[in-house]
Structure 1
Amino acid sequence: MEPHDHPARSNPARRQRGRSTYLIDVENAGELARLMQQDRLLTEALGGLLPEEGISLPETGRVLDLACGPGGWLLELAFCFPRATLIGVDLSPAVVEYATAQARSRGLDNVRFQVMDVMEPLAFEDGSFDLINGRLLWGFMLPAAWPRLLAECRRLLRPGGILRLTEMEEPLSTSPAFERLMALGCQALKRAGQSLSPDGRHLGITPV
């Protein structure tokens, strides 16, 4: 499904439509496995799928997962809310196909996955969702795209709906090699124009 064009919201300086700005080849089998493991570990570290106080999803609610990858978080949520409608969107057709196969193999008919670019207007009606979720979007989001995405989420949320974003800075370590790796990664993001940090020393997402 192709998102509707909104010329007033387009930015000619941003990436070519459909071109991935993700740091790693997401369609690599090893990366898909890593993302599934990352989903599991992040959910566990946070204390559950929806551990925050004040977040309650109606039994028949509607959820949108932004840049869902192989769908780990959404698939687990589907087991907990069998009457809800859960939709995951991702830029990669291959990843969407993989997530869809995961849902079918687990007998989950309340979740579906679609190809969409979250840095473009999303092809859903106003007020379509009770909850919009995004986790670790810093890995591909361009700085100028953040305000547009947040505005789009406000459009898509129902009255009283919740936008749930989970982001992070690079981890601290006592390992010189790991610290060097994180520093190089932050510098690479800065040079690629994908950093929110003023000097490229950090990711810069959490202060924003």
Structure 2
Amino acid sequence: MTTLTDRPNAALIVIDVQNNIVAEAHDRDQVVANIATLVDRARESGVPVVWVQHSSDEHLPRGTEGWQFVKELVQRTAEPVVHKRWADSFEETDLERVLADRGIGHLWVTGAQTDECIRSTLHGAIARGYDATLVSDAHTTEDTSEYGAPTPDKVIAHTNLYWQYHRAPGRTAGTQPTAEVNFKIAG
């Protein structure tokens, strides 16, 4: 269990599922559909959904169409949005306060890009004392193999493999596919 005291609750974290970020993402439609399923399931279970939205002055200006969340995912007014400028969703954001205010110690992580913001946020969570479960079929990345990276399917598979076995003292990690996520027993 989390090393954070008095944090028995879980949250679904939806990272950077924005028009320009996932436009060319691997298996985009299926990943977005899986995230939509998880959002609905979290809401039905009373588990908070926390939205993370990236911006940068040059490549992803705030307020533009490319910066918006994809149309298939609808953020409700009562659900917090954390605005970020760095890969790790905790860096220079109010994410920790949002989670602390809700007694959250366990994160279910989804979104994009697997090899950047997902991995950074997972490691940032564990380093800060959270339990962090990566939903194995609810994260994606674009193809950057022309720059020497593995193809997206391999990036995703590798991230799932190493996070499945990741551990830290007093904290748990792991992966779980969308179909097996049960928010009612999470915590």
State the TM-score, normalized to the length of structure 1.
Answer: 0.38
Task: Choose between structure 1 and 2 for higher RCO, CA contacts under 8 A separated by at least 6 residues.
Answer: 2
Greater strand proportion: 2
Larger Rg: 1
State the TM-score, normalized to the length of structure 2.
Answer: 0.41
